[in-house]
Amino acid sequence: MRLTARIALIVGVIVAASTLPAVGQQGPIRIGASLSLTGSYAKLGSNQHEGYKLCERDLNAKGGLLGRKVEFVVYDDQSAPPTAVRLYEKLITEDKVDGVMGPYSSPVTEAAANVTEKYKKVMVSPLAATTSIFRKGRKYLFMVISPAEGYLEGLVDIAAKRGLKTVAVVNEDTLFSKAAAAGAVELAKKRGLQVVYQEAYPKGNTDFSALLTKVKSLNPDVIAAATYFDDAVALTRQMKELNVNPRMYGVTVGGDLPEFYETLKQNAEYIYGATQWEPSLPYPGQKEFLDAYKKEFGHEPSYHSAAGYAGCVVYAEGVKRAGSLDSDKVRETLLKLETRTMFGDYKVDGDGFQLAHKMALFQWQDGKKHTVWPDELASAKTRFPTPSWTQR
């Protein structure tokens, strides 16, 4: 009898101890995420991580969330989707985090979203831009940045307004770039431009001689390239080498990095690039964000940093308005939420697919990125047309 009582007491204490933080709501709100801190997306994933860290700091400076401190639990998925799957499982089932935030990139999000859906966890995924991820009936996934299909809209729009007629579209054969290229083709046709050539090349390709030889023979007015960094650099260098002279040439990803200009120097002049966000865009809270970021990390934020920060702000707003961490309640609020952060507008449809955020188009002018599209955000006029390589 006494033994039974003692066991009962011990069990009781253990149960009480393990449920105490949940019942008492005393501990911090823990938000889990897996990020690409090493591997091929390391640089971009680390920028996103800094966005999360700054958001955590700013939330806590304003008294936290629902009166509790906020704490990020971040693991490294080495840029590998299967690792991210394992880490989200661990975050949700072992670490029992209160909420999750998205990883870096479309492929990793695509994989990780299966886990968060399984456990019905709301996941704001600030760096997934591929439409298909959000069109699979997932209920708890939210998009922050503009979809891949819209990346080259600015380039096509300017080309159409300037009366250009023909466009060649080239892309890396990966999820995001394919979608961006398909979007460009679609938009070009809609605007009456003729798509004279389209070709995909494999990831890691750095020799574009044959592709550009074909493009050159068609002499298109516009070359729209759905790229990452390495291929954008190689493509540009070889365009110069083979003297390929479109009147406009634009890239998707990579062209916005400072390294793009450092690498290509004056050869990057006149090149257009699509961007989700630029520090110069006149959004509310932009200056405060830039100052705080530079002070905290000692360098300028990239759009990955800004999207990470904004995604976290959106999630926090959802929790605040729902007044709860409950997934279904937060989901309801996020579906209805319309807000503007330093990253731009946020509003999603019933699938969590982003509708309001706008892409911008910049052009490299005298070593600086100047926003040239859309008109209401533009900080400079386009330098049009792009002169031929021999006339620079």
Partner 1 sequence: MNVVITPAMLGQVVVSGILAGALYAMVALGLALIFGVMRVINIAHGPLLMLGAYTTFFLYQALGLNPYLSVPITMLVLFALGALLQRTLVFRVVDAPELSSLLLTFGISIALVNLAQLAFTSNLRAIEYATGSYTLGPLAFSKSRLIAFAVAAALTGLAFLFLQRTRLGKAIRATSQSREVAMVCGVDVRRIHLITFGVAAALAGAGGALVSVIVAIQPEMGQIWTFKSFLVIVLGGAGNYPGALLGGILLGLVEQIASLFLTTQLSEAVAYILLVVILLVRPTGLLGGRQT
State the residues that interact with partner 1 by CB under 8 A: 38-40, 42-43, 173, 195-202, 204-211, 213-214, 217-218, 229-230, 233-234, 237-238, 240-243, 257, 259, 262-265, 267, 389
CB atoms near residue 94 (< 10 Å): 8
Q: Could you give the CA distance from residue 147 to residue 132 in angstroms, rounded to a whole number?
A: 10
Task: Give me the residue label for tokens 């479309």.
Answer: 106
Residue 5: exposure state from Cβ atoms within 10 A (0-12, 13-18, ≥19): exposed
The two structure tokens encoding residue 175: 């999820």
Beta strands in the chain (DSSP E): 29-35, 70-76, 99-101, 123-125, 141-143, 166-172, 194-201, 222-226, 248-251, 272-275, 339-341, 344-346, 360-365, 368-373
Give the nearer residue to partner 1 in terms of CB position, either 174 or 365: 174
Secondary structure (DSSP) of 354-374: B-S---EEEEEETTEEEEEES
Q: Which is nearer to partner 1, 95 or 241 (CB)?
A: 241
Task: Write down the least CB distance from residue 67 to partner 1, Å.
Answer: 39
Task: Give the three-class secondary structure for 302.
Answer: coil
Smallest gap, in angstroms, from Cβ of residue 205 to partner 1?
Answer: 6
Residue 327 CB partners (closer than 8 Å, separation 6+) = 120, 121, 122, 140
Which residue's CB is nearer to partner 1, number 242 or number 377? 242
Phi and psi at residue 230, to the nearest 5°: -55, -45
- Smallest distance, Å, CB 202 to partner 1? 6
**CB of 108: closest distance to partner 1 in angstroms?**
16
Least distance in angstroms from the C-beta of 42 to partner 1? 4
Host H or E run for residue 385: none
Instruction: Specify the residue, 88 or 208, whose C-beta has the smaller distance to partner 1.
Output: 208
Nearer to partner 1, 267 or 280 (CB): 267
Task: Return the structure tokens found at 220.
Answer: 């298109």
Question: Which CB, 144 or 268, lies closer to partner 1?
Answer: 268
- CB-based burial label for 122 (10 Å; 0-12, 13-18, 19+): buried
- In the complex, least distance from residue 364 CB atom to partner 1, rounded to whole angstroms: 14
> Shortest distance, CB of residue 265 to partner 1, whole angstroms?
5
Tell me the closest approach of the beta carbon of residue 170 to partner 1, in angstroms. Answer: 9
Residue 384 backbone dihedrals phi, psi, to 5 degrees: -130, 145
Our CB check for partner 1 shows the closer of 263 and 379 to be 263
Cα-based distances in Å from 256 to 229, 268, 279, 333:
9, 11, 11, 33
For partner 1, the closer of residues 51 and 254 by Cβ is 254
